Each structure stands twice: as structure tokens, then as C-alpha cells.
Amino acid sequence: MKTNQAIAMLCLLGSMLPAAAFDFGSIDWKKAAEAVQKVQKANADINEPQEISLGEGIASNLLGAAPLLDNPPVQEYVNRVGRWLTLQTERPDLPWQFGVLDDNDVNAFSAPGGYVFITKGLLAQMNSEAELAGVLAHEISHVLRKHHLQAIKKGARTELLADLANDAIRSNGGDPRFSKLVSAGTEVYARGLDKQDEFEADRMGVVIAARAGYDPYGLPAVLQTLQSINPSDSSVALMFKTHPALADRLSLLDQEMTGHFANQENQPDLAPRFFKAMGISRK
């Protein structure tokens, strides 16, 4: 499936030196002013339309690496679960799009503006809709907290590419610099986010899932399953590289969740519905 077709389908379903170190008479004040403007731009907030535009470009790049799974019922099911979760958040009106990638690697991704992807390889490791909801809620949390946007803006400050942070985004693809910014954003997925961003998404994810009526322990259950996979397995290489150690994530979740979800006991068994939607027999 071509990238533009996939997008269409988804639409459907900041060092200081001592002053004495400077010769003020030799300063090019025009260039200095431009540098200040760049820093200001890099620290400026990206508005929602710009966020969505940037996210669409990054999502297109991700889809270029791994296309959407050609299975409409599964895509519709994952979108239904994902969209229900977003209704429990402070940004329900983003144009949320969820997609299953035709990729055997075990991973999940999100992009600014509301794009969330999960691989069929990760889906194959799940045993219930609550587990799917936990993973999707984790990725939704990255969008809510704008973790990828902050990582991109941090890179802009580091590389003095602040002019890209707003001007190129505002061009909505009409400026060739836009593609550079999209590429910079896509590189975040190879490096991974800050560990604290991942921990925050874990904590938020279990809360969002619980609000939606799911067993909040769905996400920990998935992490426990992934912990049992041989680390040398190539299918989990990128996930292990770009995320904190599973043991650390589980330990922090245990600390955060203990004593806070007593009213979430006796959850309905959503495994049958999950496996039916996946079109496979129950394990």
C-alpha cells in the first residue's frame, strides 16, 4: 500500500561565557539579533495545526518504512479501541488516527497530532483488548504530553535550526526545509525518547485505560510478556534500544499503581472479543 493511500485510509477509519571574553566592538549586532530570534522561535510553542501537519509528515515517513496491514477489520477494531481511549483525555478533538503496521517487529509508535501505530508483531504478543488499550494509551500519552515535539524542538535549539521550528511547519510542506524537519522528527524514533518521557507515558497510560473501563494492568501484562522474549531476538531489538529496561518500567508501575486501582477489580474478560477481532483462535 502506497504512503498516500495509507494516510487516506487512516483518515477514514535552550552556554554562557564571561562578559570579559567578548570584544563588544567587533560584534555583528544584526547576526546577534538573528540568533536571538532563532532561540526565541525554538522556544515558542507550536500551535495545533502545525503539530498536526508535522505529525502527518512523520507518519508518512513511518508508513514508508512499514505499510499498513491490509486487514480492514483489524484496522477498524484498533481504531475503535483507540478512539474510545482518546475520549477519556484532554485532547479528544485531535484528528486521532490509529493503524496497524505490517511489520513483524515488536513495537508501537506515535507522532504529533494524533497518529498512533502498533505493529502486527506486537499485536501477536497480546492476549486481551485491555492489553491493546494499555499500549495504545501509552502512545496516546506521548501525544498528549507532546514528548516528540519537545524532542524535536530540543534538537532545533542544539543545532540552531530554530527557523525550522515554526516557519517550515507553517509552510505545510511548501518549504523544502519542512522535509528536513520531518526527517529530524523521524530520527527521534531511532534514538528513542528520554526515559522520563517513557515512564510518564506508562503512568498516564494506565490511568487513561482505567478511565475507559479497562483493566489498568493491561499495560504491565504486555511488559511482562515482552520481558520473556529473548533479548537477542531481532524483532525486539529496536524496542529494547529505544525504551527503558522493562524491569525498570514494571517496578515503577508497581510503585505507582499499588493501592490506587482497588475499584478496578473483577474486570470483564475481554480476551474473546480481542481474538475474535484478530480473526484467530484463542490461545
Q: What is the pLDDT of residue 161?
A: 46
Residue 283, pLDDT above cutoff 90: no
CB atoms within 10 A of CB 80: 14
Q: What is the pLDDT of residue 52?
A: 93
Mean pLDDT over residues 253-277, rounded?
82
Q: Cell numbers of 213, please?
A: 473501563
What pTM was estimated for this model as a whole? 0.80
Dump the DSSP string for 196-233: HHHHHHHHHHHHHHHHTTS-TTHHHHHHHHHHTS-TT-
Distance between CA 262 and CA 152 in Å, rounded? 39
Q: How big is the CA angle at 80 (ends 219 and 69), to the nearest 5 degrees?
A: 85
Q: What is the pLDDT of residue 142?
A: 97
Which has the minimum average pLDDT: 10-24, 192-206, 221-235, 263-277? Answer: 10-24
188 pLDDT band (50/70/90 cuts)? Answer: confident
Mean pLDDT over residues 195-218, rounded?
96
270 pLDDT band (50/70/90 cuts)? Answer: confident
Q: Identify the residue with better confidence: 14 or 92.
A: 92
Which has the minimum average pLDDT: 11-20, 100-109, 128-137? Answer: 11-20
Mean pLDDT over residues 210-234, rounded?
95
Distance between CA 125 and CA 262 in Å, rounded? 27
Q: What is the pLDDT of residue 280?
A: 75
190 pLDDT band (50/70/90 cuts)? Answer: confident
229 pLDDT band (50/70/90 cuts)? Answer: very high
How is the chain split into domains, by residue range?
Answer: 40-260
In 3D, which of 104, 107, 2, 114 has the Cα closest to residue 49? Answer: 114
Distance between CA 96 and CA 111 in Å, rounded? 10
Which has the minimum average pLDDT: 95-104, 136-145, 194-203, 268-277? Answer: 268-277
Mean pLDDT over residues 12-19, rounded?
42
Instruction: Give the SS3 label for residue 41.
Output: helix
| Residue keyed to cell 504529533 | 112
In 3D, which of 86, 85, 116 has the Cα closest to residue 101? Answer: 116
Question: What is the number of H-type helices and E-type strands within the chain?
Answer: 15, 3
Which has the minimum average pLDDT: 87-101, 179-193, 200-214, 256-270? Answer: 256-270
Residue 217, pLDDT above cutoff 50: yes
Pairing state between β 97-101 and 108-111: unpaired
Residues 117-132 have pLDDT tens digits of 999 999 999 999 999 9
